[in-house]
Amino acid sequence: MNHLRVDIAVVGAGPAGLQAALAAAEARVRVALIDRYPRPGGQYFRQPRSEPALASAVARQPKAQALFQRVHRAENVVYWPETGVWAAFPSDGDEWLLALDGPDAPARLVARSLVLATGAYDRPIAFPGWTTPGVYTAGAVQTLLKSEGVLPGRRVLFTGSGPLQWAVAAAVADAGAEVILLEAVSRARLFSLSGLLALWRQGERLREARAYWRSLRRGAAEIRFGWAVVEVRGEAEVEEVIIARLDDQWRPIAGTEASWAADAVVIGYGFLPENRLAQLLGCAEDFAPHLGGYIPRRDETMQCSLPGVYVVGDAAGIRGADVAQLEGRIAGLAAAARVQARSAVSLQAALRPYQISLAQTRRFAHWLGRTFTPGPGLYRLARDDTTLCRCEEVRLADVRAAVANGAGSLDEVKAMTRAGMGYCQGRICGEILVHGMMRSNPPTSTYWREFQRLGRFRVRPPLFPLTLQSLAQG
Ligand SMILES: Cc1cc2nc3c(=O)[nH]c(=O)nc-3n(C[C@H](O)[C@H](O)[C@H](O)COP(=O)(O)OP(=O)(O)OC[C@H]3O[C@@H](n4cnc5c(N)ncnc54)[C@H](O)[C@@H]3O)c2cc1C
């Protein structure tokens, strides 16, 4: 059997995984770094597949290049790109078994410790017309631009909340498209006292924000605060976009609707943590809507409830690249100390400076989460004929019919409608379906409690589609 043993397996070569691998390698343990993408960097440090046509739109990141090189030079790190981890299990003794699918990697890997740094993915929001060709997520547009140098359209309308859509809109404007940006959060909320306090000592973030603002202004972009797209019309392409002003629960205010023209619509309402490997292993979880929903419960070394399993970066709650790097560093050091059976006292001393920085950096990330996480009103935009599960073409009306016929949990809706049984295995539609199951006007104060009560899909391997050959080998 094609299978190998290492001290630490790091899944994900984004900011968190790279720092974890580097910290562990510096402590002289054997590390395997695994990532599905062809090049290291994850989302924030994403590198173009080749030199892009729109090179000016892609930020040069010298810090990232230095990090790649240090990991690359470490002799005790083996790096497998284009390799997915499609399952994880406890192995004999105190070890963990990963099933891999990639050109050069073994089919199975046994590790004494795991660092799961699997990142996040775009949060989908269902509204009438969200499946029309020409409607993208902000992450997809960023990937198109960064990896392929391709623009989504000539007149591009962004609807969402938070930094990613601003970053992508600025890049799209720099690349020459006409941009309209609707930020769902109102100006008053954004520039409130808590907002200004959160920005205290965030010089780098302020510089980034200023650069986005300048790019958008240079491109004569139209910017509105407290507005969102509520409907996209068109069959084979985007023909008309309906926008509306939102109230403080993110509900469209009747009478404010307006019609706009655009040839692409970009949805950017933040991210959901990609932590299915942690779920599969059975890590205990908490529910934190402002961090993206279900997140693994961890101690101060980033270890979850299972000994030797560490979860870091956006996979453990959406907090951005700076937090991801600090968490990765902490987990790498802690995992190495565990493998080497080093004393808790020496580990604590090594972790202390990173933990102090982490506490400061997290404060800003938590303000971002509290400010930009969509309110319940946004999830009421879908109508009976709106598709919620794209793979199996299940509409809101089908979900409501299942609930009326007695389905009391997401798994029961799945059994009755096939929602979540398609290619994405519920990764995209899971959250949308639960919102669709909610009573028509649940009180805002109990919204998230009700949301949790309806449950979510159980994770089962394989985590992504595999060839029969990979399945047989694994
Ligand atoms: C689409 C998108 C765009 C973003 N753009 C920005 C931006 O412009 N500016 C900004 O400040 N922040 C951005 N963010 C947020 C920022 O990327 C993150 O905060 C930061 O990258 C988190 O780092 P990470 O290491 O936790 O995860 P990531 O950078 O997401 O890296 C996770 C890595 O894990 C790999 N992976 C996941 N599952 C598996 C598996 N089963 N097997 C193998 N490999 C796996 C992925 O291929 C990926 O490379 C973006 C996030 C997303 C999702």
DSSP per residue, 211-269: HHHHHHHHTT-EEEESEEEEEEE-SSS--EEEEEEB-TTSPBPTT--EEE--SEEEEE-
331 and 437 together in one domain: no
What's the 188 CA to ligand 1 centre distance in angstroms? Answer: 31
pLDDT over 90 at 68, yes or no: no
pLDDT of residue 52 exceeding 50, the answer is: no
Q: Tell me the C-alpha distance between 165 and 158, whole Å.
A: 7
The mean pLDDT of 240-269, rounded to a whole number, is 96
Residue 57 pLDDT > 50, yes or no? no
Both tokens assigned to 382: 């879908």
Token pair listed for 260:
């706009």
Does 137 map to a domain? yes
Tens-place pLDDT, residues 346-392: 999 999 999 999 998 898 889 999 999 999 899 999 999 999 999 99
Region 187-202 average pLDDT: 78
Instruction: Give the CATH number for residue 440.
Output: 1.10.10.1100
Of 213, 237, 269, the residue that ends a domain is 269
pLDDT score recorded for residue 58:
40
Most confident range (mean pLDDT) of 102-106, 154-158, 187-191 is 154-158
Q: Looking at the structure, do residues 107 and 196 belong to the same domain, yes or no? A: no
Give the distance from CA 120 to its chain's centroid.
2
Same domain, 115 and 13: yes
Domain that holds residue 189: 124-269
Instruction: Read off the pLDDT of each residue in 294-318 and give the average, rounded to a whole number.
Output: 97
304 lies in a domain?
A: yes
Residue 192: the pLDDT is 78
The values of phi and psi at residue 61, to 5°, are -125, 85
Q: Whose CA is nearest to atom 4 of ligand 1?
A: 43
Counting from 1 in the atom list of ligand 1, the atom nearest the Cα of 17 is: 25
User: Residue range 147-173: average pLDDT?
Assistant: 94
Whole-angstrom Cα distance, residue 224 to residue 205? Answer: 21
- Do 301 and 422 reside in the same domain of the chain? no
Nearest residue (by CA) to ligand 1, atom 16, is 44
275 to 12, 85, 287: CA distances (angstroms): 11, 12, 13
Tell me the pLDDT band of 55, cut-offs 50, 70 and 90: very low
Verify that 248 and 281 share a domain, yes or no: no
Which of 69-78, 168-177, 202-211 shows the lowest mean pLDDT across its residues?
Answer: 202-211
Domain assignment present for 460: no
User: How many CB atoms lie under 10 A from the CB of residue 144?
Assistant: 17
Cα 289 from Cα 312, distance rounded (Å):
18
- From 215, 241, 269, the end of a domain falls on 269
Instruction: Quote the percentage of the chain above a pLDDT of 70.
Output: 96
Q: Answer yes or no: do 309 and 238 share one domain.
A: no
Q: What is the mean pLDDT of the chain?
A: 91
CA of 121 to the centre of ligand 1 (A): 7
Count structural domains, the chain. 3
- Assign residue 229 the CATH number of its domain: 3.50.50.60
> Residue 313 C-alpha to ligand 1 middle, in angstroms?
8
Tell me, yes or no, whether 157 and 204 share the same domain. yes
Q: Ligand 1 in contact with 463 (CB < 6 A)?
A: yes
CA-CA distance, 312 to 17, in Å (whole number)?
8
Nearest CA to ligand 1 atom 48: 42
Q: Are 184 and 288 part of one and the same domain?
A: no
Does residue 448 lie within any of the structural domains? yes
The stretch 426-431 carries a mean pLDDT of 94
**Which token pair is 83?**
């390799």
Q: Same domain for 117 and 188?
A: no
The CB of 167 under 6 Å from ligand 1? The reply is: yes
Does ligand 1 come within 6 angstroms of the Cβ of 15? yes
Shared domain check, 337 and 302: yes
- The whole-number pLDDT of residue 197 equals 75
Q: How far apart are CA 86 and CA 104, in angstroms?
A: 15
Q: Is the pLDDT of residue 20 over 50?
A: yes
Most confident of 54-58, 344-348, 468-472: 344-348
Mean pLDDT to the nearest integer, 64-73: 87
**Whether residue 117 sits in one domain with residue 128:** no
pTM: 0.93
User: Which residues make Cβ contacts (< 8 Å) with residue 325, sequence separation at least 6?
Assistant: 15, 16, 18, 19
408 with 297, same domain: the answer is no
Q: What is the mean pLDDT of residues 192-221?
A: 83
* 151 pLDDT more than 70: yes
Name the token pair of 215. Answer: 């790019």
For residue 194, pLDDT beyond 60: yes
Predicted confidence (pLDDT) at residue 176 exceeds the cutoff of 60: yes
In a domain, residue 468? The reply is no
Q: Which of the four pLDDT bands, split at 50, 70 and 90, describes residue 43?
A: confident
Q: What pLDDT band is residue 149 in, cutting at 50, 70 and 90?
A: confident
Burial 234-259 (b: 16+ CB within 10 A, else e): beeebeebbbbbbeeebbbeeeeeee
pLDDT at residue 2 greater than cutoff 60: no
Q: In this structure, is residue 316 part of a structural domain?
A: yes
Domain final residue, candidates 269, 291, 326? 269
The answer to whether residue 252 sits within a structural domain is yes
Report pLDDT digits (tens) over 24-35. 999 999 999 999
User: Considering the domain boundaries, does residue 469 fall inside one?
Assistant: no
What is the model's pLDDT at position 50?
57
Q: How many A from CA of 119 to the centre of ligand 1?
A: 4
Rg (CA), the chain: 22
Per residue in 411-421, pLDDT tens? 999 999 999 99
Q: What number of CA atoms fall less than 13 Å from residue 269's CA on the CB side?
A: 23
